[in-house]
A and B are shown apart, each in its own frame.
Chain A
Amino acid sequence: MIATAKMRLVVIGNGMAGIRTIEELLKMSSDTFDITVFGSEPQPNYNRILLSPVLSGEMSFKDTILNDWSWYEQNHITLHTGKTVTKIDRLRCVVETEDGIVVPYDRLLIATGSNPIMLPVPGINLPGVVGYRSIADVENMLGMAGEGIRAVVIGGGLLGLEAANGLSLRGMDVSVVHLCEWPMERQLDKVGGGLLQGALEKRGLKFYLSRQTEAILGETSVTGLRFKDGEEIPADLIVMSAGIRPNIALAKSAGIHCERGIVVSDTMQTYDPKIYSVGECVQHRGQTYGLVAPLFEQAKVAANHLARYGAMRYEGSSVSTKLKVTGIDLFSAGDFNPGKGDEELLLQDSARGVYKKLVLRDNKLRGAVMYGDTVDGPWYFQMMRDGTDITEMREHILFGQAHLGDSGHGGTSSVANMPDTAEICGCNGVCKGTIVNAIVEKKLFTLGEVRAHTKASASCGSCTGLVEAILANTLGGDYSAKPSKQAICGCTDASHQDVSQAIRKDGLKTIPDVMQALQWKTPDGCHVCRPALNYYLLAAWPGEYADDSRSRFINERVHANIQKDGTYSVIPRIWGGVTSPAELRAIAEIAERYEVPTVHITGGQRIGLYGITKENLPKMWGELVEAGFVSGHAYGKSLRTVKTCVGSEWCRFGTQDSTGLGIKVEQMTWGSWTPHKFKIAVSGCPRNCAEATIKDFGVVCVDSGYEIHVGGNGGIKVRVTDFLCKVATEAEVLEYCGAFMQLYREEAHYLDRTAPWIERVGLAHIKQHIVADAAGRSALYARFLESQRYSQDDPWKERAEGKEAHEYATLATIE
Chain B
Amino acid sequence: MPALVKNQEIVADDWLLVDTISDYVPDNAIVPFEHIHSTQATAAWIEGDCEIEEAGEQLARLDLVAVNFPAFADGRGLSAATLLRNRFEFKGELRAIGEIQPDLTPFMRRCGFDAFVLADERAAATAIQCMSSMSDFYQGSVIQPQPPYLRNRST
The reply to whether chain A is a binding partner of chain B is no
